[in-house]
Chain A
Amino acid sequence: MQLLAVSALHVRLPSIHRTVHAVRNVSWSLNEGEILALVGESGCGKTMTAMAILGLLPDSAQVTGHCSWQGQQRSVRTSGTRDPLAAEHAAVIFQNPQTALNPFFTISQQMGDVALASGRVTRKSLPGVLVENLARVQLPDPSAVLKKYPHQLSGGQLQRVMIAMALVCRPQVLIADEPTTALDVIVQAEILELLRTLALEDGLAVLLITHDLGVVASLCDRVMVMYAGEIVEQGAVKEVLRSPAHPYTRKLLATVPDIDGSRTALEYIPGRVPDLSQPMHGCAFKERCAHRHGACDRVPIERVLKGGQSYRCHLNDPYEVTQP
Chain B
Amino acid sequence: MTKPVTNHTLKVRELEKVYHTRMGPFIAVNKVSLDIADGEVLAIVGESGCGKSTLSRLLIGLDQADGGEIRFNDRVLYRASDAHASHRNDGIAIVFQDPFSSLNPKMRVVDLVAEAFRPTKLSAIKGWRGRRVTRRKRVVEYLNLVGLDETHLDRFPHEFSGGQLQRIALARALAQEPGLLILDEPTAALDVSVQAQILMLLKELQQRLALSMVFISHNLGSVAFIADRIMVMYLGHRVEAGPTRKVLDHTRHHYTRALIEAVPSINPHRKRRVSTLVPRGSILRPASRSCVFADRCPAATDDCRQHAPSFTEGPGGHGFACFHPLSETQP
Contact = CB atoms under 8 A, between A and B. Distances in A.
Contacts of A58: none
B258 A241 contact: no
A211 interface: yes
Contact of B218 (A185, A190, A258, A263): A185
B206 to A, nearest CB: 13
Interface in B246-279: 248, 258-269, 272, 274-275, 277, 279
Contacts of B191: 41-42, 211
Interface in A229-287: 237-238, 241-242, 251-253, 255-261, 263, 265-269, 272
Interface string A46-80: 00000000000000000000000000000000000
B166 to A, nearest CB: 13
A14 interface: no
Nearest to A185: B262
Contact of A261 (B219, B245, B259, B268): B245
B264 A190 contact: no
Interface string A144-175: 00000000111111000000000000000000
Nearest to B258: A186
Contacts of B272: 189, 218
Interface in A171-190: 184-190
Contact of A257 (B224, B260, B280): B224
The range of chain B's interface size is 35 or more
A193 B266 CA distance: 16
A261 B244 contact: yes
Contacts of B19: none
Interface in B166-199: 191-197, 199
A144 to B, nearest CB: 11
Contacts of A42: 191
A260 to B, nearest CB: 7
B47 A187 contact: yes
A184 B284 CA distance: 15
B185 to A, nearest CB: 12
Interface in A192-226: 192-193, 211-219
A119 interface: no
Interface string B192-234: 1111110110000000000000000011111011000000000
A136 B314 CA distance: 45
A217 to B, nearest CB: 5
Interface in B133-187: 161
A contact face: mostly helix, strand, loop, or mixed: helix
B199 A257 contact: yes
A193 B272 CA distance: 10
B306 interface: no
A192 B161 CA distance: 30
A255 B193 contact: yes
B48 interface: yes
Given A157-B282, A184-B218, A257-B222, A214 B266 contact: yes
Contact of B279 (A140, A237, A251, A267): A140
A266 B199 contact: yes
Contact of A256 (B47, B266, B275): B266
A238 B259 contact: no
A185 B224 contact: no
A189 B265 CA distance: 11
Given A184-B218, A257-B199, A251 B47 contact: no
A191 B143 CA distance: 41
A189 B272 CA distance: 10
B266 A241 contact: yes
Contact of A259 (B161, B220, B269): B220
Contact of B193 (A242, A258, A259, A268): A268
A266 B196 contact: yes
A184 B52 CA distance: 13
Interface string A70-96: 000000000000000000000000000
B275 A189 contact: yes
Contacts of A265: 200
Given A41-B193, A255-B192, A261-B248, A192 B224 contact: no
Contacts of B222: 257
Nearest to B277: A186
Interface string B275-307: 101011010000000000000000000000000
Contact of A217 (B193, B224, B244, B268): B268
Interface string B62-82: 000000000000000000000
Interface string B86-105: 00000000000000000000
A190 B275 contact: yes
Query: B224, B260, B282 — which one has the most chain A CB atoms within 10 A of its CB?
Result: B282
Nearest to B267: A217
Query: A185, A212, A261, A272 — which one has the most chain B CB atoms within 10 A of its CB?
Result: A185
A186 B234 CA distance: 13
Contact of B268 (A140, A242, A251): A242
18 contacts: A41-B192, A153-B282, A186-B258, A186-B275, A186-B277, A189-B275, A211-B192, A212-B264, A214-B263, A214-B264, A218-B264, A237-B268, A241-B268, A255-B193, A256-B196, A257-B225, A258-B266, A259-B221
Given A217-B265, A261-B224, 7 more contacts: A153-B282, A187-B47, A192-B264, A241-B268, A257-B196, A266-B225, A268-B197
The 10 closest A-B pairs by CB, nearest first: A214-B264, A255-B196, A189-B262, A184-B47, A218-B264, A257-B225, A257-B221, A266-B196, A261-B224, A268-B196
Interface of A: 41-42, 140, 152-157, 184-190, 192-193, 211-219, 237-238, 241-242, 251-253, 255-261, 263, 265-269, 272
